[in-house]
């Protein structure tokens, strides 16, 4: 848990760089930059990376944008690259519990020592103030990831877009392959209020001559991707038209899918039929990469089977059966609802906490028929709906609905209600699920 900054806690590290006494001090400084808000644009990121020696040019990359599935596709692609013998970085956001989850090399999180060293290095430049405008949290975090990858001599990195694509800080990379997962209406204040406008922002990660692989899309989104790819001479592969996947089995023991890219069936390490689509996109991306770097079909199959991505239909307990899922859109909620039959147990209890800018009422309408009770709570962030507001979003969709302050207390109540034979799902924002993980691990709140 972060504590207020004490006066005089900063000190000079090696080379005269400004450091706090602890990692909390360093992260407190980094998080303070969130007050700068979200400022889309690439000039700052390019200036910062140039001052750091352009670390993003020292490794190959895959750039992943989209609204749904981009985290899973990123994790699968990174797992494939590792299985093929490449030293692989993975940069994702946001995190569930620890900041270091965002930046991994071969599945290992960046150490606290390395993180502190890199923050000090970047802070020295930031305090110098030679940038077009004040740097944001995400711009600096992206630079930290690229610095770490270069320092760790990463060969290939999978880089997930933070928001949008065109002006996202990650769009400084020149990847071997661009990937676009399913696009929906989101972040309308920044990306536009129509599917076409949002598709334009996300499809703008497509670079001149760089192949692009896409999940199935609506006709409007697909037209935008095809147009952008044509304008930039980028070969495109669209799932459903150029490659396919057939889900053969999906239960608590795993997922089996037939992939046209490999002309064979493979096991996927993530639960849910929707992961068959993500696996197909990751496999097609890998086949595209195989034209430039060494990747065998066997390594693709092994990588997909070993892929892990937390809090996506993740089983964390057996008695009672407890599942975590961070889906927070109506479309995602419908997908989750379609998978719930694989999880046995009664009574069925949902612990839910969502953010104010999400369509909570629509999401709850999809989940309500599958549960006996909803326990509404709120995460420890001003962005969260209060338990009472969450309960209002649930309406009369659930047979029973109650409010409990604090995610840990809500989960404790749910586990008690479910007993050993019941089923509990924690659903909602990363903040909510992150606090649930801390409770299950026996730690204090955020």
User: Does residue 261 sit within a domain?
Assistant: yes
**Coil, helix or strand for 121?**
helix
Sheet holding 212-214, edge to edge: 108-109, 103-105, 88-91, 156-160, 60-65, 177-180, 212-214, 236-238
- How far is it, in rounded angstroms, from Cα 404 to Cα 371? 17
User: Does residue 180 sit within a domain?
Assistant: yes
User: pLDDT tens digits for 316-327?
Assistant: 999 999 999 998
Residue 342 token pair: 């694989």
- How far is it, in rounded angstroms, from Cα 136 to Cα 5? 20
Residue 98 has a CB neighbour count (10 Å cut-off) of 12
Of 29, 299, 317, the closest CA to residue 156 belongs to 299
User: Does residue 5 sit within a domain?
Assistant: no
Q: Are residues 275 and 336 in the same domain?
A: no
User: Does residue 2 sit within a domain?
Assistant: no
Number of domains the chain is built from: 2
User: Does residue 4 sit within a domain?
Assistant: no
Q: Are residues 289 and 328 in the same domain?
A: no
Full pLDDT tens readout for the chain, 446 residues: 333 333 333 444 444 445 557 899 999 999 988 766 566 679 999 999 999 999 999 999 999 999 889 999 999 999 999 999 999 999 999 999 999 999 999 999 999 999 999 999 999 998 887 787 889 999 999 999 999 999 999 999 999 999 888 999 999 999 999 999 999 766 666 677 788 899 999 999 999 999 999 999 999 999 999 999 999 999 999 999 999 999 999 999 999 999 999 999 999 999 999 999 999 999 999 999 999 999 999 999 999 999 999 999 999 999 999 999 998 788 889 999 999 999 999 999 999 999 998 899 999 999 999 999 999 999 999 999 999 999 999 999 999 999 999 999 999 999 999 999 999 999 999 999 999 999 999 965 54
Torsion angle of alpha carbons 102, 104, 109, 114, nearest 10°?
Answer: -90
Q: Are residues 381 and 291 in the same domain?
A: no
Strand-pairing partners, residue 268, are 255
Last residue of a domain, one of 258, 273, 306: 306
Q: Are residues 167 and 277 in the same domain?
A: yes
Q: Are residues 278 and 375 in the same domain?
A: no
Q: Are residues 83 and 191 in the same domain?
A: yes
* DSSP per-residue codes, 361-389: HHHHHHHGGG-SEEEE---SSTTBPPHHH
| Residue 335 backbone phi and psi in degrees, to 5 | -65, -45
User: Does residue 132 sit within a domain?
Assistant: yes
pLDDT score at 440: 97
Of 102, 225, 108, the closest CA to residue 169 belongs to 102
Q: Are residues 239 and 93 in the same domain?
A: yes
321-325 and 314-318 as β-strands: parallel, antiparallel, unpaired?
Answer: antiparallel
Q: Are residues 244 and 389 in the same domain?
A: no
Q: Are residues 293 and 391 in the same domain?
A: no
Residue 156 token pair: 């290939």
Q: Are residues 112 and 221 in the same domain?
A: yes
Residue 437 token pair: 């993980």
User: Does residue 54 sit within a domain?
Assistant: yes
Q: Are residues 238 and 379 in the same domain?
A: no
The parent domain of residue 289 ranges over 10-306
pLDDT score at 293: 99
Q: What is the DSSP letter of 153?
A: T
Q: Are residues 376 and 252 in the same domain?
A: no
User: pLDDT tens digits for 292-343?
Assistant: 999 999 999 999 999 999 999 999 999 999 999 998 788 889 999 999 999 9
* DSSP per-residue codes, 282-343: HHHHHHHHTTTS---HHHHHHHHHH---TTSSEEEEETTEEEEE---SHHHHHHHHHHGGGS
Last residue of a domain, one of 306, 335, 359: 306
User: Does residue 123 sit within a domain?
Assistant: yes
Strand-pairing partners, residue 403, are 376
CATH of the domain at 405: 3.90.190.20
Last residue of a domain, one of 271, 306, 341: 306
Q: Which residues contact 242 (CB under 8 A, 6 or more apart)?
A: 236, 284
CATH of the domain at 180: 3.40.1190.10
- How far is it, in rounded angstroms, from Cα 411 to Cα 427? 11
* 387-395 LR contacts (CB < 8 Å, sep 24+): 387/353, 389/356, 389/360, 390/352, 390/353, 390/354, 390/360, 393/354, 393/360, 393/361, 393/363, 393/364, 394/352, 394/364, 394/368, 395/361, 395/364, 395/365
């Amino acid at each position: 848990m972060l504590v207020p900054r004490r006066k005089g806690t900063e000190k000079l590290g090696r080379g005269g760089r400004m450091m706090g006494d602890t990692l909390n001090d360093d992260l407190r400084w980094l998080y303070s930059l969130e007050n700068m808000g979200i400022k889309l644009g690439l000039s700052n990121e390019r200036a910062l990376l140039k001052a750091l020696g352009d670390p993003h040019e020292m490794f190959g990359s895959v750039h992943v944008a989209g609204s749904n599935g981009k985290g899973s596709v990123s994790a699968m692609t990174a797992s494939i690259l590792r299985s093929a013998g490449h030293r692989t970085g993975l940069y994702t956001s946001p995190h569930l519990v620890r900041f270091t989850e965002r930046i991994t090399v071969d599945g290992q999180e960046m150490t606290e020592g390395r993180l502190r060293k890199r923050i000090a290095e970047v802070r020295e430049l930031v305090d110098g103030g030679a940038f077009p405008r004040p740097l944001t949290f995400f711009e600096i975090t992206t630079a930290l990831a690229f610095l770490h990858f270069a320092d760790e001599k990463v060969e290939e990195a999978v880089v997930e877009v933070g928001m949008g694509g065109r002006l996202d800080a990650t769009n400084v990379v020149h990847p071997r392959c661009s990937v676009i997962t399913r696009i929906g209406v989101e972040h309308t204040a920044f990306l536009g209020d129509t599917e076409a406008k949002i598709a334009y922002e996300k499809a703008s990660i497509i670079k001149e001559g760089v192949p692009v692989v896409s999940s199935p899309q609506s006709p409007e989104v697909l037209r935008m991707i095809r147009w952008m790819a044509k304008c930039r001479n980028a070969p495109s592969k669209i799932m459903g038209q150029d490659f396919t996947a057939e889900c053969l089995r999906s239960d608590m023991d795993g997922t089996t899918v037939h992939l046209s890219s490999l002309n064979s069936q493979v096991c996927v390490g993530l639960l849910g039929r929707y992961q068959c689509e993500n696996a197909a996109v990751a496999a097609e991306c890998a086949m595209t990469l195989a034209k430039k770097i060494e990747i065998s079909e066997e390594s693709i199959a092994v990588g997909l089977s070993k892929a892990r991505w937390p809090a996506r239909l993740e089983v964390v307990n057996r008695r009672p059966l407890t599942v975590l899922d961070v889906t927070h859109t109506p479309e995602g909620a419908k997908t989750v609802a379609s998978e719930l039959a694989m999880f046995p147990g009664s009574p069925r209890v949902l612990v839910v906490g969502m953010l104010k800018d999400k369509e909570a009422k629509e999401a709850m309408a999809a989940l309500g028929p599958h549960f006996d009770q909803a326990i509404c709570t709120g995460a420890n962030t001003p962005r969260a709906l209060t338990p009472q507001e969450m309960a209002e979003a649930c309406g009369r969709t659930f047979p029973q609905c109650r409010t409990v302050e604090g995610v840990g207390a809500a989960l404790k109540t749910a586990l008690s209600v479910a007993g050993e034979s019941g089923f509990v799902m924690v659903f909602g924002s990363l903040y909510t699920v992150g606090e649930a993980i801390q409770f299950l691990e026996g730690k204090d709140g955020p």
